[in-house]
Amino acid sequence: MSVEEIRKKWQGNPMLKPRIEKVTVNMAVGKSGEILERAAKVLEELTGQRPCKRKAKKTIRDFGIREGEPIACIVTLRKEKAKEFLKKALVAVDNKISKEKFDNFGNFSFGIKEHIEMPGTKYVPELGIHGMDVCVTLCRLGYRVKKRRHAKSAVGSKHKLAPEEAMLFIKEELGVEII
């Protein structure tokens, strides 16, 4: 489907225009203790929300990880907070995302090696430098029927988001270059 056909489809039916459902930011440090607390503090400063800690699912002796030990922190952003954070995070990767980063449902993910690459962030020696994964979930209006408790229903195949539409939306909405 061409770009003009997609735009015409969005203008004809506003339910078909994609939107950012959520942005999930994950910092996996691999150890519990002080290093995880510092990563959580960095994540809280960047997002403005208190992160939730995630535990290891299984024991890996080579890495010194035990099952049930907290090894990562995660934040889920929605609405305006998600959009603001995403704009800052995309600057850290030069507003470029590869086509391969998109999945079959229009969602995409990218990584940031050092959090100090984000604009407005200063290096604090006590906290160190941490990397993060940013996962962006896109959807259309009407996807709620799939997740609600009462009267759950499937989303029709014509209403599902295609990767090409997601790329066009991100390109127009956030000014990202798809490479």
- Rounded to a whole number of angstroms, the CA Rg of the chain reads 18
73, β-bridge pairs: 27, 53
* CATH (one of 3.30.1440.10, 3.40.630.20, 3.40.50.2300, 3.20.20.370) for 15-178: 3.30.1440.10
Q: Answer whether residue 157 shows pLDDT above 90.
A: no
Question: Exposed/middle/buried for 1, CB within 10 Å: 0-12, 13-18, 19+?
Answer: exposed
CA angle 22, 28, 29 (to 5 degrees): 155
Q: What is the pLDDT of residues 103-135, one digit of tens each?
A: 998 899 999 998 888 888 888 888 888 889 999
Instruction: Decide: 23 and 82 in contact? Cβ < 8 Å.
Output: yes
Query: What is the separation of C-alpha 174 from the centre of its chain, rounded to a whole number of angstroms?
Result: 14
The whole-angstrom separation of Cα 148 and Cα 58 is 31
List helix spans (H) across the chain: 3-12, 34-47, 79-92, 144-147, 163-174
Assigned token pair, 111: 């990584």
Residues of the chain with pLDDT > 70, as a percent, come to: 100
Largest CA distance in the chain: 57
Q: What is the pLDDT of residues 67-108, one digit of tens each?
A: 888 889 999 999 999 999 999 899 888 889 998 999 998 899
Q: Quick one: DSSP state of residue 117? A: G
The whole-angstrom separation of Cα 79 and Cα 21 is 7
Domain segments of the chain as ranges: 15-178
Q: What is the pLDDT of residues 133-144, one digit of tens each?
A: 999 999 888 888
**Position 169, amino acid:** F
109, β-bridge pairs: 135
First to last CA, the chain: 19
